[in-house]
Amino acid sequence: EYDSNVITICNIRDPTTSIVLSKQYTDTVGSRWRLNVYPKGNNTNQRYLSTYVELCDGIAGRYQYTVELLHDDVTRQVKFQSEDHFKVGDIQGYQKFIRVRRLLEEGYLNAEGSILIRLSIRPANLALRCQYQEEYQTLKEDKLRTQFNAQLNQNLTRIKSLRDDNASLQALVYPEYASNIFVVRNFSALREAQEDICSDNAYDDLGCCWRLIVYANGDKEGRDEWLSVYLRLLEGIPGSYEYCVELLHNDAAKTVKMEGTQSFDIQERFGWTRFARLDWICANGFVSEEQDALYFRFSLRPPNYKAKCEYHHLLRLEAKRECELLKRELIPSYSTKTYTLRNFSEMQRKDSFIYSDPLVDDLGFTWRLLIYANGHNEARGNHLSIYLILFEGVSASRFEYRVELLHPQNPTANIKMEGVNVFKLKKIWGWPQFMDHERLQEEGYLDQSADTLEFRLSMCPPDIKLKCEYQQEFIRKLKENQK
């Protein structure tokens, strides 16, 4: 017996609908099927509705199938029957299932604008049916085994990750110091010249940049007697940090250490004018005689885990702001124009067209909408047709477009066409069947009191590189025209 399923296909009259996919259903063998319907055909010929049967999942093989377009009058039902070999993902069917005009005029459409199609499928013979059922059971067992193993591996990975996270969390409760070694070379010469020296930029694990500043002969009231040492936060997040600054010695017991917690601001230094007496440093072997150098270690960290998380959050916000600024520079913004089409009813009785007001974008290109109130070519008499034209600019330019038919009362119901296209000068490109006249009035897009339709046109190049190229080419053309 056939496995049959009656399918409701909606949006048949919607001009923006190119394909309707039915819900999948499972036959008795275990394979899953669906019906693909093209209301305007699956090629350039829009006079026929096309239907195709697709094997979404299951057992590849030979199947018989029947596609019936139902009608209240049984004698008018359209029926096609065939037998084909299907693989998973294959589609088989009928490009010219029924003429669109016949579909619209002979009562196949329901009141809500949908049609009913009965899809019936079975294996080509009884032997194949038994074979496919056995294959499906084997396939189902393999899938269950694979899913079980994948779930097991996923759980094991999750357990390992939780263990690692727990170990990391315990380490973060007391943040590790970010430590750096700074060697002050030519110490004697620096003292005589009374110069200060700065370490290279040092970055902690938050990404904040620090420097250690050493005055070899002292600073201010410590001059000539004391070694002066300061810390400076060059960039990052201002706030409270634990610090540890050490003047190192071969004998660890003699190391000079300053540590504590301090609030740091950007570019403001904090430290000790009287870090250590110069005569004591020289007398106790801190200065390497061979290299004439002092060795420092400076270490920094947030005071606790909560503060570190807060600083991380602030850094992410700062990075996000910088990313948004960069994105604004790299991705051009739309140039937009709103146009009101007046006296629509009068224009609908004519076969003429009208141009919208020009949109001059920030490159200097000129764009217009070309509007046929009564439709164009095959859409004449029953549709609103809309086209885009590049009147002035660089031919063969690639632009992102957005054409919207605005709803007077409900902005969420705006009809929007958007995408990317290559436009040539004064060549039309657009939608002959943008919207049928009946829908314009029934769904309130036509302002009945003012007899107007409102459109919004938006254009921009896809990226800043193309925008610069088009700008240079357009300027070159303008200069040639002036000559």
| pLDDT given for residue 124 in this prediction | 86
| pLDDT given for residue 357 in this prediction | 95
Residue at 73 is within a domain: yes
Residue at 160 is within a domain: no
| pLDDT given for residue 463 in this prediction | 85
**Does residue 65 sit in the same domain as residue 119?**
yes
Name the domain boundary from 306, 327, 350. 306
Name the domain boundary from 306, 323, 345. 306
**Does residue 292 sit in the same domain as residue 380?**
no
Q: For 181, which DSSP code?
A: E
Q: How far apart are CA 407 and CA 383, in angstroms?
A: 17
**Does residue 20 sit in the same domain as residue 105?**
yes
Q: How far apart are CA 133 and CA 114, in angstroms?
A: 35
Name the domain boundary from 306, 323, 350. 306
**Does residue 353 sit in the same domain as residue 477?**
yes
| pLDDT given for residue 206 in this prediction | 85
Low-confidence ranges of the chain (pLDDT < 50): none
Residue at 146 is within a domain: no
Which residues, 6+ apart, have CB-to-CB distance to 45 below 8 Å? none
**Does residue 357 sit in the same domain as residue 472?**
yes
Angle between helices 126-173 and 305-330 (to 10 degrees): 120
Residue at 410 is within a domain: yes
**Does residue 297 sit in the same domain as residue 353?**
no
Residue at 159 is within a domain: no
Residue at 411 is within a domain: yes
Q: How many domains does the chain have?
A: 3
**Does residue 377 sit in the same domain as residue 435?**
yes
Residue at 268 is within a domain: yes
Supply the CATH number for residue 93's domain: 2.60.210.10
| pLDDT given for residue 289 in this prediction | 75
Please tell me whether residue 159 adopts helix, strand or coil conformation: helix
**Does residue 300 sit in the same domain as residue 344?**
no
Residue 364 CA, chain-centre distance (Å), reads 29
**Does residue 81 sit in the same domain as residue 219?**
no
This model's pTM is above 0.75 = no
Q: For residue 402, what are the domain limits? A: 335-482
Each residue of 57-93: b (16+ CB within 10 Å) or e? ebbebebbbbbbbbeeeeeeebeeeeeeebeeeeeeb
| pLDDT given for residue 169 in this prediction | 60
**Does residue 194 sit in the same domain as residue 90?**
no
Q: How far apart are CA 262 and CA 294, in angstroms?
A: 25
Q: How far apart are CA 354 and CA 313, in angstroms?
A: 55
**Does residue 104 sit in the same domain as residue 184?**
no
